[in-house]
Homo-oligomer: A and B are copies of this chain.
Amino acid sequence: MCELLGMSANVPTDICFSFSGLVKRGGETGDHKDGWGVAFYEGKGYRSFHDPIASVNSEIAKFIQQYSIKSTTVICHIRKANRGRVCLENTHPFSRELWGKTWSFAHNGQLKGIKKKTLKHFMPVGTTDSEYAFCWLLDQLKQQFPIKPSRKKVLWLAIETLCDEIAKLGVFNILLSDAENLYVYCATKLAWLTRQSPFSEAQLIDADVRVDFKQETSKHDVVTVVATEPLTSNEQWTTMAKGQFTVFSAGKKRYTNLS
C-alpha cells in the first residue's frame, strides 16, 4: 500500500511539517520505498516533483523539506509498488489538463480489471492501474461535459459517481485536484483534520518534530490536511468512512456524501 498526503488551504501555506513526517514512511518508519512525488498548486499554476527512489534517500525530498513552497492545494504520494515497475513514469501524482485546468491524482490501492475500460481522450504514459484509472475518470468527465459544468455540485456528483464505479474494482483511496478543489475518496483508509484559530502545537508521529502553528499562521488561516494515517500524535483527526467522498477547497469541507 502507498501513503497519501493532501492539503487544502485558504492562503498559500507550506507543507514542510507534514511532508517531513510522510517522507519518513518512505523507507524509515514505513516501507514505501518505490518512489514519491508531490504536486503544488499556486493559483492556476502547477508544479510537481517526482523521484523514483525512496523518499528518505531522495535529495529532491530533502530539498523540498528545506525550501518552503507555499501552495493552496497539495497532493503527495509515497509509493510501495504492487502493479507497474519502479520508474519515473509510474510515480504519482499523475497530471493531465482538462478544461484549461491541470488536474492531478494520487492513488492508494489495487484495482482489478481497470484496463478493460475504454479510453478515448486521455492515455496513460506508464503502466500502473492508478494512472489508467485517472485517465478513465477524466475521460468520462470530458465525455459527459465537453465544457466544464457551471454548477460545482454537478461536477462533484459526477466525480463521486465515477469514484464509486472504480471502487468496485478494488481499493480506491485517492486524492484528486483541479487546483481549486481537493477531492478525496476513501475506500479503506484516510483521515483528515482542519487547523484554524486558535492554533496550537502539533507533534509528528514519525519524527521528533514539533511545530507551534500559533507562530506560523495568522488568525484567518484555515488549513486542512488529509493523510492515509494521522501524521500527528496530539491532534484530533477525523477518520473517513468506506465510500466517503469529500470535497475541500480553501481549507474547508464543502461537500461530503456521508454526513
Cα-based distance from A45 to B88 in the complex (angstroms)? 5
Q: Mark A29-72, 1 if CB is under 8 A from B, else 0.
A: 00000000000001111111110100000011001000100000
Contact A102 B125 (CB under 8 A): yes
The closest CB in chain B to the CB of A121 belongs to: B121
A-B contact pairs, 29 of them (CB 8 A): A42-B87, A42-B88, A43-B88, A44-B125, A45-B50, A45-B52, A45-B87, A45-B88, A45-B89, A45-B90, A45-B91, A45-B125, A46-B89, A47-B50, A47-B88, A48-B48, A59-B67, A60-B67, A63-B67, A96-B97, A97-B122, A97-B123, A97-B125, A99-B123, A100-B123, A100-B124, A100-B125, A101-B125, A121-B121
Residues on B with C-beta less than 8 A from A42 are: 87-88
What's the number of copies of this chain in the assembled complex? 2
- Interface secondary structure of A, over-half rule: mixed
Residues of B within 8 A of A49 (CB): 47, 49
Within A100-125, the residues touching B (CB, 8 Å) are 100-102, 121-125
Q: A126 within 8 Å of B by Cβ?
A: yes
Considering the chains assembled together, what is the distance between the CA atoms of A150 and B211 in angstroms? 56
Q: Give the chain B neighbours of A43 by CB distance below 8 A.
A: 87-89
Q: Give min CB distance, A34 to chain B, whole Å.
A: 14
Query: How far is it, in angstroms, between the C-alpha of A45 and the C-alpha of B52 when the chains are bound?
Result: 10
Residue among B44, B121, B122 making CB contact with A89, cutoff 8 Å: B44
Q: Mask for A158-200, Cβ within 8 A of B = 1, else 0?
A: 0000000000000000000000000000000000000000000
Give 10 nearest A-B pairs by CB, closest first: A45-B88, A100-B123, A45-B89, A44-B89, A47-B50, A42-B88, A63-B63, A59-B67, A102-B125, A44-B125
